[in-house]
Structure 1
Amino acid sequence: MKKLSLWVCLLFSILPIHASPVSDLELVGQAKLQVWFWDVYESALYSPDGLYQVGSYPQALEIKYLRDIAAADLIDATREQWQRLSLWSEQSQRWLLTLSDIWPDIRRGDTLVIKVDQQGVSHFYHNGDLIGQIDETTFADSFLSIWLSEDTEYPKLRARLIGVTPP
């Protein structure tokens, strides 16, 4: 029995232990995106008190992907959503270049988190590991608008994320 305990302790001492980037926040709401009959991702929004307030930070959006998606496709989808929301600008193009350096190709089961801190800096995590950040405070509002704007392409998903509609 002592050998087993020793092996368990040794195993846990060499494995990296990651605190979740949202562990200090409370769940606001969660939703699954389905496009036609395909499950794309499950998402969850977090805030300090579990309530959504526009432009109030810290805040985090966690997306668990239910299919493989190339980073280039994520970049294209972000561009399309910003154009659809009339948020496209030269600044947006620079942000997409930065995101293309940050985001990896996604495998089914991977999680991406954007956590916006109190100063408005956006931190990106892939499967719990910090992979990059964008320091421009205007980025957070533009990026999160894809899901949280009243003009989002997916209003039912938005309603669930902000806690207006039960999951």
Structure 2
Amino acid sequence: MADPLSELNKVGEAKLQVLFWDVYNSSLYSQTGQYQAERFPQALKIDYLRNIDANDLIEKTQDEWEKLGIEKVKFTPWISLLTDIFPDIKKGDSLLLSVDKNLQSEFFFNGKKIGEITDQTFGKTFLRIWLDENCRYPKVRNKLIGLKK
């Protein structure tokens, strides 16, 4: 299986710290190494620095979508798909979302493909958790998209 990052270049990287806990290191990739919101392929890789239960990942995803004003009717079908895809995370694990030029989304866990979502609006919506101007952690966003602020 081809490496989903083999033809992509790193745009930026950031560490998420909440209070005094390190949660994860994240890296954003694009073809050019520059961030352009509607230009795909893009990939987001998260290297976890603590254990996180799969149910907590699902809950957090749902919370972030709600905070961004995404309608529950839109993301509810995705939650059941993510429930089948997301594993329990242990410190040192990595989770990667790759969204190709056709807006097909694939998830990889520690380098192995664990699932895909073919809805063409999913990948963009999932990436908004980190990349939207109104996301919860704007400093992480700025570093991911190469602003370094």
> What is the TM-score normalised by the length of structure 1?
0.86
Percent of pairs with identical residues: 49
The equivalent of 1:61 in structure 2 is: 44
The within-5 A match list for 1:117-128 is: 117-128=100-111
- Could you say which residue in structure 2 is the equivalent of 1:158? 141
| TM alignment of 1:105-120, pairs within 5 A | 105-120=88-103
What CA distance in whole angstroms lies between the structure 1 residues aligned with 2:67 and 2:74? 16
Larger Rg: 1
Q: 2:121 aligns with which of 120, 127, 138?
A: 138
Counterpart in the other structure of 1:100: 83
2:25 paired residue among 39, 42, 51: 42
4+ residue runs over 2 A deviation: 18-21
Residue 137 of structure 1 aligns to a residue in which SS?
Answer: coil
Whether 2:14 is the aligned partner of 1:31: answer: yes
User: 1:19: how far off?
Assistant: 5.3
Question: For structure 1, which segment, 28-37 or 89-98, has the greater mean C-alpha deviation from structure 2 after superposition?
Answer: 89-98
1:61-119, Cα deviation, whole Å (9 max, x unpaired):
00000000000000000000000000132230110110000111001000000000010
Question: Which residue in 2 is equivalent to 1:88?
Answer: 71
CA deviation profile, 1:123-142 (whole Å, cap 9, x unmatched): 00000000000001111111
Q: Secondary structure at the match of 1:158?
A: helix
What is the aligned partner in structure 2 of residue 15 from structure 1? none
Asked if residue 73 in structure 1 is aligned to residue 60 in structure 2, the reply is no
CA-based RMSD of the aligned residues comes to: 1.1
User: For residues 47 and 75 of structure 2, what CA distance do their matches in structure 1 show?
Assistant: 24
Query: SS of the residue aligned with 1:151?
Result: coil
Mapped to 1, the partners of 2:129 and 2:74 lie a distance apart of: 16
CA distance in 2, matches of 1:127, 1:24: 18
Unaligned 5+ runs, structure 2? none
**Aligned partner (choices 112, 130, 133) of residue 147 of structure 1:** 130
**Greater helix share, 1 or 2?**
1
Aligned length: 149
Residues 79 and 88, structure 1, Cα contact 8 Å, conserved in 2 = no
